[in-house]
């Protein structure tokens, strides 16, 4: 695109050593380049290069001219020629630009190669770090992408149209269709603010200039309105009270201006906000739904990259506080620009510093305002296709009430340089489905009951599964917390708590139920049935600890419930330590366990006990003959176990007893 680059001014000096005729053309090109007339520059430098005259400086200049005029296929070609020269000490920024140009022509594998080189040259650069931390970014973008149509608005012209905002029943946007003085950057007329009326069928038409007092003979663009529609902030060249001012280096910067709606419905009392400067740009405002914060893009002091996103408080009296950079969670060394804050506090922005599909991509930080207020971690997401493409995508705006969304792109198939696209915000509903199985055998559990609850425990839906043991719940809201529970007779219920994301998709959750009623049979081990891996004792002791007592209460409850059951308590150790010592220690522990149950009222003739030391290992973790073992602690743990073997029940005896 051409328009967003207004915020970043490049001044590069060029030195050429060629034939006299070529030098003349290069001097002309250099002059045009410094004056930001990139279209003419590329034509002149291209002629020189195609005549066989190249140098590092010329290729840098030529590739940059195409890059900043958004002719990415040509930019990739000439950056590629520059890379073939294999110059030592080249600015790593050229690796980044080459990677971006390659992305724009969807050569992602080659782009990744140069991004890796860029990241290796400066490991502190946030763009390189972002790339290195998400090397699977294309898969992540595919996951975030959604299936809906975007439409090129009928109101677009053959020139540049971008940066849409709704105001009452109108769509307000910037366009260079107004005629008049041309801007040398792209040889199009300067931008003005225009509006289009919303029709009953939801389309927009009847384009006219928004306000003659706001529009001037220089650039106006990107407007934001306060929630009461009484104040507007907009972007304009450094032109105020009919005075056009440049910075010390001769560049005319961008500023944000404020206008107030008077009693006649006209915008007047236009004033420059207090932190504007002749030396840096301030642009692209957006205001939160409470009217308490304004977000904007700037390259003021403290900026991390080419342009950053800042915030500023809007005080109760309408004055503005001091701007604050949103920091490295939002900004990189690249361009972060065109912020938009929606009614739920989600922050959208466009960036070429984070991993994307090419050029500027639209990103979002969900629940940004709340997380920032609570100082919680924030996650920046690429919104994916179809909003993003291999070209520049920016100026995102959405109205969650009317389900309307807009963004600007210079993708192929448009009417002009930049076009405004619309879309209907897709209904965000989730589908939850899964199966119910036995956790141990993975058998499908037909007849299980599955219930869906909201985050507060209120029942929403319920069904009984058939022979395929599958369940399905539709219509779940996005960004909500839910709980799904599976139940079946003789099983303990299984439940999963989950939160739905902010996009339409299927969720799959398998419910695994454990047997709750297990048939007590002779030779069964209560330790396995009751999930008692070990009865713990302090080192070298056999007094019953509290945590062991908790486990023994389970055994006690079973023996009280089934008065005919008899139990053999068995204690085992691992192989470490002398065998005789282990046998004695385990015997004492087994007897101590038996005595605990007797003391709690179990008849002594229902209990036997024996310690086996290390004589009955369940694996190959023996220590003979050196009393050493290479087994892990986890493997030894399997041998340090307690068993409560059912020796008889209801007159039936365990054969081994």
Render pLDDT for 313-345 as a digit per residue (tens, 0 to 9): 999 999 999 999 999 889 988 889 999 999 999
Please check the confidence at residue 487 and state whether its pLDDT lies above 70.
yes
Please check the confidence at residue 8 and state whether its pLDDT lies above 50.
no
pLDDT tens digits for range 536-546: 666 566 777 77
Q: What is the mean pLDDT of residues 632-643?
A: 71
Distances in whole angstroms, Cα of residue 546 to Cα of each of 152, 342, 551, 553: 72, 55, 9, 11
Q: What is the mean pLDDT of residues 510-539?
A: 79
pLDDT tens digits for range 105-120: 888 888 888 888 888 8
Please check the confidence at residue 4 and state whether its pLDDT lies above 70.
no
Using 50, 70 and 90 to split pLDDT, how confident is the model at 574? confident
pLDDT tens digits for range 53-94: 778 888 888 888 888 777 888 889 999 889 988 888 888 888
Provide the whole-model pTM.
0.60
For residue 643, the SS3 value is: strand
Using 50, 70 and 90 to split pLDDT, how confident is the model at 401? very high
pLDDT tens digits for range 539-573: 566 777 777 787 888 888 888 988 999 999 988 87
* Percent of the chain with pLDDT strictly greater than 90: 42
Using 50, 70 and 90 to split pLDDT, how confident is the model at 181? low
- The least confident of 57-66, 131-140, 270-279, 449-458 is 131-140
- By the 10 Å C-beta count (0-12 exposed, 13-18 middle, 19+ buried), 361 is classed as buried
Q: State the pLDDT at residue 135.
A: 63
Q: State the pLDDT at residue 633.
A: 67
Using 50, 70 and 90 to split pLDDT, how confident is the model at 632? confident
Please check the confidence at residue 367 and state whether its pLDDT lies above 80.
yes
Using 50, 70 and 90 to split pLDDT, how confident is the model at 402? very high
**Per residue in 250-288, is it b (16+ CB within 10 Å) or e — as a string?**
eebbbbbbbbebeeeeebeebebbebbeeebbbbbbbbb
CA dihedral 519, 524, 527, 528 (to 10 degrees): -70
Whole-number mean pLDDT of the chain?
A: 84
Q: State the pLDDT at residue 3.
A: 43
pLDDT tens digits for range 138-163: 777 777 778 789 999 999 999 999 99
**CA 273: distance to chain centroid?**
33
Using 50, 70 and 90 to split pLDDT, how confident is the model at 182? low
Summary count for the chain: helices (H), strands (E): 13, 37
Secondary structure of 355-399 in HEC code, one letter for each residue: CCCCCCEEEEECCHHHHHHCCCCCCEEECCCCCCCCCCEEEEEEE
* Percent of the chain with pLDDT strictly greater than 70: 87
């Amino acid at each position: 695109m051409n328009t967003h680059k207004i915020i970043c001014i490049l001044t590069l000096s060029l030195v050429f050593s060629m034939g006299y005729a070529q030098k003349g053309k290069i001097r002309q090109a250099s002059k045009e380049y410094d004056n930001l007339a990139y279209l003419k520059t590329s034509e002149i430098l291209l002629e020189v290069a195609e005549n066989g005259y190249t140098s590092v400086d010329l290729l840098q200049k030529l590739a940059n001219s195409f890059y900043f005029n958004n002719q990415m296929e040509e930019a990739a070609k000439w950056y590629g020629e520059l890379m073939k020269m294999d110059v030592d000490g080249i600015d790593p920024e050229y690796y980044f630009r080459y990677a971006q140009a390659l992305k724009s022509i969807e050569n992602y594998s080659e782009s990744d190669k140069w991004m890796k080189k860029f990241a290796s040259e400066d490991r502190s650069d946030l763009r390189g770090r972002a790339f290195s931390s998400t090397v699977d970014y294309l898969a992540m973008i595919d996951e975030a992408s959604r299936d809906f149509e975007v439409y090129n608005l009928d109101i677009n012209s053959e020139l540049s149209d971008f940066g849409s905002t709704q105001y009452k029943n109108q769509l307000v946007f910037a366009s260079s269709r107004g005629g008049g003085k041309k801007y040398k950057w792209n040889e199009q007329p300067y931008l003005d603010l225009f509006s289009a009326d919303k029709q009953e069928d939801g389309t927009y038409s009847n384009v006219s200039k928004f306000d003659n007092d706001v529009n001037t003979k220089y650039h106006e663009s990107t407007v934001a309105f306060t929630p009461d529609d009484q104040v507007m902030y907009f972007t304009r060249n450094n032109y105020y009270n009919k005075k056009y001012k440049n910075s010390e280096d001769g560049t005319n910067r961008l500023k944000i201006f404020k206008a107030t709606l008077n009693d006649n419905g006209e915008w007047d009392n236009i004033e420059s906000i207090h932190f504007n400067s002749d030396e840096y740009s301030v642009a692209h405002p957006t205001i939160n739904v409470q009217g308490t914060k304004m977000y904007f893009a700037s390259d003021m002091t403290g900026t991390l990259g080419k342009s950053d996103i800042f915030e500023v408080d809007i005080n109760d009296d309408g004055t503005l506080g001091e701007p604050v950079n949103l920091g490295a969670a939002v900004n990189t060394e690249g361009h972060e620009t065109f912020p938009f804050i929606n009614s739920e506090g989600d922050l959208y922005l466009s960036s070429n510093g984070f991993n994307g599909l090419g050029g500027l991509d639209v990103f979002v930080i969900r629940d940004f305002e709340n997380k920032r207020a609570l100082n919680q971690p924030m996650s920046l997401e690429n919104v994916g296709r179809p909003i993003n493409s291999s070209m520049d995508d920016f100026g995102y705006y959405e109205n969650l009430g009317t389900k309307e969304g807009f963004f600007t792109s210079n993708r192929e198939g448009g009417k002009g340089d930049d076009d405004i696209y619309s879309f209907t915000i897709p209904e965000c509903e989730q589908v939850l489905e899964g199966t119910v199985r036995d956790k141990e055998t993975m058998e499908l559990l037909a007849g299980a009951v599955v219930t869906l609850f909201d985050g507060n425990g209120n029942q929403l839906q319920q069904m009984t599964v058939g022979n395929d043991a599958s369940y399905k719940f539709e219509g779940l809201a996005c960004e909500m917390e839910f709980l799904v529970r599976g139940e079946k007779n003789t099983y303990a219920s299984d439940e999963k708590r989950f939160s739905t994301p902010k996009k339409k998709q299927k969720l799959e959750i398998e419910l695994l139920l454990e047997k709750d009623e297990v048939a007590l049979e002779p030779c069964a081990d209560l330790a396995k049935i009751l999930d008692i891996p070990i009865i713990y004792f302090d080192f070298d002791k056999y007094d019953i600890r509290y945590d062991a007592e908790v486990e023994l209460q389970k055994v006690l409850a079973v023996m009280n419930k089934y008065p005919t059951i008899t139990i053999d308590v068995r204690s085992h150790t691992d192989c470490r330590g002398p065998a005789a010592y282990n046998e004695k220690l385990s015997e004492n522990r087994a007897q101590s366990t038996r005595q605990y149950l007797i003391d709690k009222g179990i008849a002594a003739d229902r209990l036997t006990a024996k310690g086996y030391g290390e004589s009955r290992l369940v694996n190959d973790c023996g220590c003979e003959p050196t009393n050493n073992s290479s087994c892990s602690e986890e493997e030894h743990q399997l041998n340090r176990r307690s068993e409560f073997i059912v020796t008889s029940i209801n007159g039936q005896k365990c054969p081994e007893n």
